[in-house]
Amino acid sequence: MKDLRISVIMATYNAEKTVEKTIKSIITQTYKNIEFIIIDGGSKDKTIEIIKKYHKYISYWVTEKDNGIYDALNKGIERASGEYIYILGADDFFCDNNIIENVVNNLDDSIDVLSGSVFLMQFNMKKLFNNYSKEIKNNLDEEDLINILLPPHQGLFVKSNIMKKYLFDIKYKLRADFKFELIMLTSNFNIKFVNFPIAFYSVEGISNRKTIEMIEETINILKELKYISVDYNRKHKKEKLIKTCIKNFLINLKLWKYSLYLRGWKKC
C-alpha cells in the first residue's frame, strides 16, 4: 500500500539515557510517510532538551503531567491521523532502517493488525520473541490464560480505528496493553503474521520490576473480560501465584535454564 501513513507514538518520562537512540531509529527510516508523535509526562531531566534537538522531524510533541504511561499513549492515539498506529517505548528501537517500509509492503486494506517478532533486551543480552499469538486457542484453561505470552506491542501495527475504539484502560497501571491485546487477538480481526523482527524491546522498565503486581493485574483483567471465574483466587493457592511470578521473572531475566526447573511445578 503506497503512501500509507503510519503514526508512530512514543511516551517519555525522564528518558534522557535512551530516548535519543529511539528517536534516531524512527527518523532514519527509509519510509517517509510517518507521523511521529511524542507525549512527555513532564520530564525533569534532559529528555525535553533532546526532543527539541529533533523537533523538525517530530509531527507533534507535548510535555505535560499525565496519569501514567497508558494515559500518555491514549493522548497520542487520539491525536494520530495515520491509517495504522505503532507504539515504541522510549528505550526501544527498530531493528533496522527498513522496518516500516517492509511493514507497509506487507499491508493491504483487509489487514487489521500486522504482528512481527521482537528482540527482548536485558543486561546486554537479547532473545527473539516470535509471534506466539498464532498458538492462541479457544480451549485455554484458567492456568493457561494466566501464563499466556502475548506479543509485545513493539511487534504490532494496528489499524487506527481499532486503537481509537478500544484505547488503553488507564485503571491498569502495568498491564493495560495486555487487556488491549487480549481483546484484539480474541476478536474477529484479520491479523497478518510476518517472519521478520520489528524492534528491540527493553525489558528493564517498571512493569518488569513489579512482577507480582503484574500477575495480579492480569488476573483482574481476565476476570473483567470473563475469561476466568471471579473466584479464581480462592480456588488457587497463593503459593502457585508466587511460583508463577518467580518463573516469569526468571524468564524476563533470560535465565532460561533455571526457569526450566520451574516447569515441573504442578497445577494446584
**87 domain residue, yes or no:** yes
**Look-up: residue for cell 492515539?**
77
247 band by pLDDT with thresholds 50, 70 and 90: low
**What sign does the dihedral 123-125-130-136 (CA atoms) show?**
negative
CA distance 143 to 140: 8
* Domain assignment of residue 266, yes or no: no
What digits encode the pLDDT tens for the residues 215-236?
788 888 888 887 665 555 555 5
Mean pLDDT of all residues in the chain? 80
Residue 35 in domain: yes
The 10 Å Cβ neighbour count of residue 70 is 23
128 compared with 192, residue with greater pLDDT: 192
Asked if the structure places residue 128 within a domain, the reply is: yes
Residue 120: per-residue pLDDT: 76
**pLDDT > 90 fraction of the chain, expressed in percent and rounded:** 50
Whether the Cβ atoms of residue 36 and residue 103 lie closer than 8 Å to each other:
no
H-helix or E-strand spanning residue 232: helix 232-235
pLDDT at position 3, please?
87
CA geometry: angle at 213 spanning 9 and 171, to 5°?
A: 50
- pLDDT tens per residue, range 124-139: 555 555 544 444 444 4
Asked if residue 253 belongs to a domain, the reply is no
CA 181 to chain centre: 9
The DSSP bridge partners found for residue 35 are 7
End-to-end CA gap in the chain: 50
Q: pLDDT: is 197 or 45 the higher one?
A: 45
In a domain, 124, yes or no: yes
- 63 DSSP 8-state letter: E
Task: Give the residue with greater pLDDT, 172 vs 149.
Answer: 172
Residue 109 belongs to a domain with what CATH number? 3.90.550.10
Kindly report, residue by residue over 63-94, the tens digit of the pLDDT: 999 999 999 999 999 999 999 999 999 999 99
- Is residue 123 situated within a structural domain? yes
Q: What is the pTM of this model?
A: 0.80
Which residues form the domain of 72?
Answer: 6-199
| 209-to-141, 144, 162 alpha-carbon distances in Å | 27, 22, 30
Domains held by the chain: number: 1
The answer to the question of residue 151 being in a domain is: yes
